Structure 1
Amino acid sequence: MTEYDYDELGLVAGLEIHQQLDTATKLFCSCPTELREPEESVRSFERYLHPTKSELGEIDEAALEESQVERVFEYLAYDSTCLVEEDDEPPARVDSEALSVVLEIAQLMDMTPVDVAHVMRKLVVDGSNTSGFQRSMEIATDGEIETSEGAVRVADLMLEEESAQRVEEREDGVTYSLDRLGIPLVEIGTKPDISSPEQAREAAERIGMLLRSTGHVKRGLGTIRQDVNISIAAGARVEVKGVQSLDDIDDIVRNEVGRQVALLDVKDRLGERDASVGEPVDVTGTFADTDSGVVRGALDDGGEVWAVRLEGFDGVVGEEIQPDRRLGTELSDHAKRHGAGGIFHTDELPAYGVTDEEVAALRETVDAGEEDAVAMVAADADVAEAAVEAAGERAEVALEGVPEETRGANDDGTTRYLRPLPGAARMYPETDVPPVHLDPSDVDEPELLTAKVDRYQDEYGLDAGVAEQVAYGEYMPLFESLVDDDGVDATLAATTLESTLTALRRDGVETDELTETHLRDAVALVDAGDVPNEGLEDLLSALAANPEWSAEQAVEEEDLGGVAEDEVREAVVEVVERNSDQVDEQGMGAFSALMGECMGALRGKADGDLVSEVLREEIQARA
């Protein structure tokens, strides 16, 4: 990957971090915030969504483009789904628990809370919200976080409702699940103070640590998303949406810088050629006898083939501007927005069954010269013309350089076109929820995770590695409750929640089935001596396989209870007597072999330390 002089290019970047809060209920209703499997849905309903005008009579450009693709949205509802989630009832007041958590976050970032939070509606017509808008409110402003490359200012802290979860995308629409819709979501937006890919990643990591320090954020894939705003001096601001992993942020920034540099080079070369873009042309007749599978399939279904001349674009459309993505890919992204599967262009033809003769005929039909390229779309009759027109419009933008737009993050660190950047016209006041008066004095500042690591070592005697695992792990709140509230041994709690669960997960145990109650009760039984340490894995495995059991029931069903000391001594004596010759000959040298035999005889129902102690006594007695 090419490394650039980011200072020379004038790189500026900012982050938008979206993090789900772990609250008991959703932001505007009393429904639970647990995610469900689509198979658990009990019914579904459909909606069509259309953009509305703002208070000033304007329609947001991004929403308008989204609405130009006619789609039906299906929503999966569950036994817990309420009328608020279906947009058949006004929302309730803002959840107080979510407000407390977001005020804690504001303190951690040295932000100033607003006196009164006003709920706004943010226009969204991609189907991700049944109402066609997302409710959002500004909670605090003017904060700051530190990085090794300098401070990054935090512009605003928003509390929002999470969108519905996309389940399936079909040709005619999208299926969403309502289990995620309405979960409290915090959005943190930084100023464009970031000047390198490494600083972007470090800033995101710092914000993530601060969020987890509250102990009230959800963990796992999809619960936190990073958007990155990126531009270089001669380029344009691009918002990259949906970066799922912190590990991808620096690559996203590098690749976007590279894309903008490449597009600026394309602009210069097209300018030298006096390039231009023609009008869409129906070229269906040119391919009447084609053997190309894609084109033939479209024509046999009653479709058409449309093309556009890209004057001066020969050799440019096929050039790579991101790893494995070309200018032609950009054109294709725009065509797909109108229902096409993609485009063909002459920098890659003949290919896909399109012959040299057909390419020559195509060029002749659209009057393309040697320095020109041609882009074409084969699709349904009501799709092909609009799709190739969209591709042509994107080619015209290439004459100007880098377009401002919203792009989606791909798994390989590249991006794809989504829609234009949204404008102010997408926001207007919410009339169903009253303003909220905030009182930050009621909220205590949480302990940072970095401070927790030090405290766990000092107070609980954990080593540095285990302390860090626990503090940064998803079970940190449970660990503190077990130790501080239940009086459980800290080392037992830490190793169970971090090491034991990890080992079971690697062995294929469905640890996701274990509830907090399962874990709390299982650890308590071991801590009290009712179950030996060696029986903990079997106990947790039994609970994972039978989540309807209580810990006590699992101990009884699986016969996992411990044995008394006299039973341990009886079993050890029997093993020693059975191996008396070895003991007489080797003395304590026989300990390791006999220890395994003793544990086997006791079937893991005795604590290893106790067995070891008794075995040593019996061997020494014989000696």
Structure 2
Amino acid sequence: MTEYDYEDLGLVAGLEIHQQLDTATKLFCNCPTELRDPDESTRRFTRYLHPTRSELGEIDDAALEESKVDREFEYLAYDTTCLVEEDDEPPHRLDDEALETVLEIAQLMAMSPVDQANVMRKLVVDGSNTSGFQRSTLIATDGEIETEEGPVGIEDLLLEEESAQRVEETDDGVRYSLDRLGIPLVEIGTSPDIRSPEQARDAAARIGMLLRSTGKVKRGLGTIRQDVNVSIAEGARVEIKGVQSLDDIDDIVRTEVGRQTELVEIRDELEARDAAVGDPQDVSEVFADTDSGVIGGALDGGGSVMAVPLAGFDGLVGREIAPDRRLGTEFSDHAKRHGAGGIFHTDELPAYGVTSEEVDALRDAVGATEDDAVAIVAAATDVASSSIEAVAERARTALEGVPEETRGANDDGTTRYLRPLPGAARMYPETDVPPVEPDPSEVAEPELLTAKVERYQAEYDLDAGLAEQVAYGKFMPLFEDLVADGTDPTLAATTLESTVTELRRDDVPVENLTATHFEQVLGMATAGDLPNEGIPDLLSALATDPSRSAEEAAEAAGLGSAAEDEVREAVLEVVERNEGQVEQEGMQAFSGLMGECMGALRGKADGDLVSELLREEIQKRA
């Protein structure tokens, strides 16, 4: 990947971090915050959403474009779904637990809480909210974090409701699941202080560490999303949504800088060529006898082929502006937003069943020369018409350079067009929820994870690696609860990190294990009712059947602390069975026989006791 002089290009970047909070209930109702399997849904309902005007009578551009795509939104409801989630009942008061957590986060970022927090409605008509808007509340402003390349300001911290979970595309629109809708979500927006891809990743990592330091955020795929705002001096602000992985942030920034740089160069070339965009035209007759499956299929279905002449664009529509993405790909993204499968253009034709004779006829039909390009869309007539208009509009913005827009992050580090940048018209007050007055004096500042690592080493005598695993792992709050209840810190740490990891590798469904399971199992071990060696087997049994208690599972599996006589008997049986080996090898036979003894006892005995008795029996015969 090309490395740019970011200072020379005038790179300016900022982050928006969205993190789900691990609260008991949702932000505006008492429903649980656990995700469900879509197959568990008990009913479905549909909605059509439309944009509304702001208090000043304005309509947000992003919402207006979204509404031009005629779609039905289907929602999966569950036995826990309430009327608030369905938008059939006003929202309840702001959740106290969520508010307390965001005030802790504000302290960690040296932010100033607002005197009064008022809930706002943010217009969203893509179906991700049943109401057609997302509720958002400004909680704190004016903070700062440190990075290796200098401080980065934190402009605002908001408490929001999470959107519904997109399940799949349907023939009529989109299907969503309501289990995620309403989970408390903190949004953290940085100032545009970031000047390099590395600093963007560093800032995101720092914010992530601060969020996890509260011990009150959800963990796992999809629980945190990073949006990146990027611009260069001759480009424009572009918001890139949905960067899932921290490891992708610096690559996303680099790729966007490259994309904008290429678009600026294309603009300059188009200006030098005195380029222009013509009016869309119907060119269906050109392809009346085509062998192209896509075009022929559209025409056979009663559709049309629409074209737009692009004067001076020859060779530039096919120019690569990002890895495996071209200017023509940008045009195609806009066409797809209006229902088309994509576009063809003369920089890539003849191909796809389109002949050179048809390309010549196409150019003649729209009055294009060899210096020009032509883009075409083949689809149902209304789709083809709206899609080619979108292509023409995007081509006109290419004459100006880089358009301000919202883009989505792709898995390969590139991005795709989503919609225009939203404006101020999308926000207006929520009249159903009373304001609250945040009181930071009642909230203690959480201990940073970096400080926890040091404390775990000093206070609990954990080695550096294990201390870091526990502090940064999802079981950190549970670890502290277990230690507070009397569990040996090393035993608690190794169980939560090493043992669980090993069980997962053995395909044990460890996701079924709850905090109560760990508390019961380690409680038995601490009380001497279960040897440490039996912990993996008991956790495995509970993961397979989580409805049982640890005591019930231990009894069913024959686990528990065996009496010394029972242990000695098992050891003696192993030694006698291998008496020839013992007489020949003496204590060198210990290692192999130890494993055999532990296997015979199946987690019923402590390893130290088994070791002691085995040594005694070997020494008697050596």
Alpha-carbon deviation of 1:588?
1.6
Alpha-carbon deviation of 1:325?
0.3
Alpha-carbon deviation of 1:583?
3.0
Count of aligned positions? 622
Cα distance in 2 between the residues matched to 1:457 and 1:490: 10
Cα distance in 2 between the residues matched to 1:558 and 1:481: 27
Q: Which moved more, 1:137-146 or 1:499-508?
A: 499-508
Please show how residues 229-240 of structure 1 align to structure 2 within 5 Å.
229-240=229-240
Match of 2:323 in 1: 323
Please show how residues 117-516 of structure 1 align to structure 2 within 5 Å.
117-484=117-484, 486-516=485-515
Does the 8 A contact of 1:134 with 1:163 survive in 2?
yes
1:75 is paired with a residue whose SS is strand
Match of 2:18 in 1: 18
Q: Which moved more, 1:187-196 or 1:286-295?
A: 286-295
Q: Which amino acid aligns with 2:239?
A: E
1:601 aligns with 2:604: no
1:117 is paired with a residue whose SS is coil
Cα distance in 2 between the residues matched to 1:355 and 1:516: 66
Does the 8 A contact of 1:492 with 1:527 survive in 2?
no
Cα distance in 2 between the residues matched to 1:520 and 1:295: 64
Alpha-carbon deviation of 1:110?
0.2
Does the 8 A contact of 2:109 with 2:145 survive in 1?
yes
Match of 2:589 in 1: 590
Alpha-carbon deviation of 1:534?
2.3
Cα distance in 2 between the residues matched to 1:508 and 1:585: 40
1:570 aligns with 2:534: no
Question: Structure 1 319/360 Cα, relative in aligned 2: closer, same or farther at 3 Å?
Answer: same
Please show how residues 35-46 of structure 1 align to structure 2 within 5 Å.
35-46=35-46
Alpha-carbon deviation of 1:622?
4.1
Q: Which runs of 5+ in 2 are unaligned?
A: none
Q: Which runs of 5+ in 1 are unaligned?
A: none
Alpha-carbon deviation of 1:600?
2.9
Cα distance in 2 between the residues matched to 1:83 and 1:349: 54
Alpha-carbon deviation of 1:544?
1.6
Cα distance in 2 between the residues matched to 1:284 and 1:316: 25
Does the 8 A contact of 2:267 with 2:399 survive in 1?
yes
2:597 is paired with a residue whose SS is helix
Q: CA offsets, 1:157-187, max 9 Å, x none?
A: 0000000000011242111100000000000
Alpha-carbon deviation of 1:516?
1.7
User: Structure 1 vs Structure 2: percent identity of aligned residues?
Assistant: 77
Cα distance in 2 between the residues matched to 1:524 and 1:499: 18
Cα distance in 1 between the residues matched to 2:69 and 2:275: 30
Cα distance in 2 between the residues matched to 1:273 and 1:334: 24
Does the 8 A contact of 2:164 with 2:181 survive in 1?
yes
Please show how residues 539-558 of structure 1 align to structure 2 within 5 Å.
539-558=538-557
Cα distance in 2 between the residues matched to 1:315 and 1:578: 82
Q: CA offsets, 1:442-477, max 9 Å, x none?
A: 000000000000011111111000000000000100
Does the 8 A contact of 1:345 with 1:376 survive in 2?
yes
Cα distance in 1 between the residues matched to 2:358 and 2:551: 76
Match of 1:104 in 2: 104
Q: Which amino acid aligns with 1:472?
A: Y
Q: Which amino acid aligns with 2:322?
A: Q
Q: CA offsets, 1:23-69, max 9 Å, x none?
A: 00000000000000110000010111000000111000000000011
Cα distance in 1 between the residues matched to 2:82 and 2:130: 12
Q: Which amino acid aligns with 1:316?
A: L
Does the 8 A contact of 1:38 with 1:76 survive in 2?
yes
Cα distance in 2 between the residues matched to 1:499 and 1:58: 57
Q: Which amino acid aligns with 1:415?
A: T
1:614 aligns with 2:577: no
Instruction: Provide TM-score, normalisation by structure 1.
Output: 0.98
2:400 is paired with a residue whose SS is coil
2:416 is paired with a residue whose SS is strand
Does the 8 A contact of 1:22 with 1:216 survive in 2?
yes
Alpha-carbon deviation of 1:563?
1.0
Q: CA offsets, 1:372-410, max 9 Å, x none?
A: 000000011110011011011101100000111100000
Q: Which moved more, 1:452-461 or 1:537-546?
A: 537-546
Does the 8 A contact of 2:23 with 2:33 survive in 1?
yes
2:609 is paired with a residue whose SS is helix
Alpha-carbon deviation of 1:518?
1.6
Instruction: Provide TM-score, normalisation by structure 2.
Output: 0.99
